Amino acid sequence: MNEAVKGSPQEQAEILIQALPHMLRYDEAIVVVKYGGHAMGDEEVARQFARDIVLLEQSGVNPVVVHGGGPQIGSMLAKLGIKSEFAAGLRITDKTTVEVVEMVLAGSINKQMVGFINREGGRAIGLTGKDGNMVTAVKATRTIVDPGSHIERHIDLGFVGEPSKVDTTVLDQVLGRELIPVLAPVAQGTDGETYNVNADTFAGAIAGAIKAKRLLLLTDVPGVLDKDKQLIKELKVSQIRDLVADGTITGGMIPKVETCMYAIEQGVEGVVILDGKVPHAVLLELYTDHGAGTLITQ
């Protein structure tokens, strides 16, 4: 690591003593980290994230990185003069747009993240859901309710997909061999078309299929907040539906907690929603007593 550890030798030793039980807990465990949001646009934050991922691998964890890229996709579409439309929180993706999405996610962002990790001493390999038929997608469907007439209307999202099958063959060959897979959420459909998959959903499907010990969803907020906007440190799956029903969990947080519940149903031990802009958020969550976000468990 490039940064000097701050504090006296005694303070440094105390930090190691506190971290050791957590490091042993995650030894040889699989941890899937979804990295996205506007934190990705800050190069120094991205480099720090890369250093933390390398440290995880060097301390015995098997990290899998899944990245998003919404802001970067939006920026490239604007440069090309292609207008973006959204419905039900998802980008409507026509044939031209999905080509740009694949170019940005699988090309620009994926290889940038691989480069950052490799420069910090890791051995990252960039993959998409297409590689080895890792993720097969089906066309996503959504309905919205017209606020005036209260009539439900089906929305055609174009080439937006949802995972229908995960084949772990490639990841089984990679994990445990000092390699860090960096996955772009692009998948091939059963119809042979390319689909843009929401990165949270993609990460949840991957984590469930490989039975990860933890799924970390790095986002732009501290975690799930209560009605007083205070962080809820821990939640059980059984509590989530009540919080959605009473309006505590709203908007873009709803699909995130749905991903959390799905991953846990598939065998992931715990899912954490945390702020990716906080320095060393991943290390704080895994290697300290207090964690860094909202932990959701069965």
Is 275 domain-assigned?
Answer: yes
* Residue ranges making up the domain that contains 191: 26-236+251-297
Q: How many domains does the chain have?
A: 1
Q: Which residue has the higher pLDDT, 16 or 226?
A: 226
Residue 292's pLDDT is 84
Residue 2's pLDDT is 45
Q: Which residue has the higher pLDDT, 209 or 149?
A: 209
Tens of pLDDT, residue by residue over 197-232, are 999 999 999 999 999 999 999 988 899 999 999 999
Q: Which residues contact 189 (CB under 8 A, 6 or more apart)?
A: 136, 137, 138, 139, 161, 195
Is 241 domain-assigned?
Answer: no
Dist. CA 242–CA 111, nearest whole Å? 41
Out of 38-42, 107-111, 230-234, 281-285, least confident range: 38-42
DSSP assignments along the chain, one per residue: --SPPPS-HHHHHHHHHHHHHHHHHTTT-EEEEEE-GGGGG-HHHHHHHHHHHHHHHHTT-EEEEEE--HHHHHHHHHHTTPPP-EETTEE-B-HHHHHHHHIIIIIIIHHHHHHHHHHTT--EEEEETTGGG-EEEEE--EEEE-TTT--EEEE--BSEEEEEEE--HHHHHHTTTT-EEEEESEEEETTS-EEEE-HHHHHHHHHHHTT-SEEEEEESSSS-B-TTS-B--EEEHHHHHHHHHTTSS-TTHHHHHHHHHHHHHTT-SEEEEEETTSTTHHHHHHHSSS-SEEEEE-
Mean pLDDT along residues 160-186? 96
Dist. CA 24–CA 87, nearest whole Å? 44
Out of 211-215, 239-243, 251-255, least confident range: 251-255
Ramachandran angles phi, psi of 183, nearest 5°: -110, 130
- Whole-model pTM: value is 0.89
Is 258 domain-assigned?
Answer: yes
Tens of pLDDT, residue by residue over 23-60, are 777 788 999 999 986 667 678 888 999 999 999 999 99
Residue 117's pLDDT is 96
Place of tokens 């038929």: 133
Mean pLDDT along residues 231-256? 90
CATH number at residue 129: 3.40.1160.10
Residue 1's pLDDT is 44
Is 9 domain-assigned?
Answer: no
pLDDT at 4 over 60: no
- Angle among Cα 144, 96, 36 to the nearest 5 degrees reads 65
Closest CA to 258 of 278, 243, 275, 277: 243
Distances (CA, A) of 165 to 143, 173, 204, 233, 266: 23, 18, 12, 32, 13
Tens of pLDDT, residue by residue over 175-201, are 999 999 999 999 999 999 999 999 999
Place of tokens 């954490």: 272
For residue 216, with 0-12 CB atoms within 10 Å meaning exposed, 13-18 middle and 19 or more buried, which class applies? buried
Residue 204's pLDDT is 95
Mean pLDDT along residues 61-74? 93
Residue 90's pLDDT is 75
Is 41 domain-assigned?
Answer: yes
Is 7 domain-assigned?
Answer: no
Two tokens at 163? Answer: 């995972």
pLDDT at 20 over 70: no
Name the pLDDT band for 118 (thresholds 50, 70, 90). Answer: very high
Is 5 domain-assigned?
Answer: no
Tens of pLDDT, residue by residue over 123-143, are 999 999 999 999 999 999 887
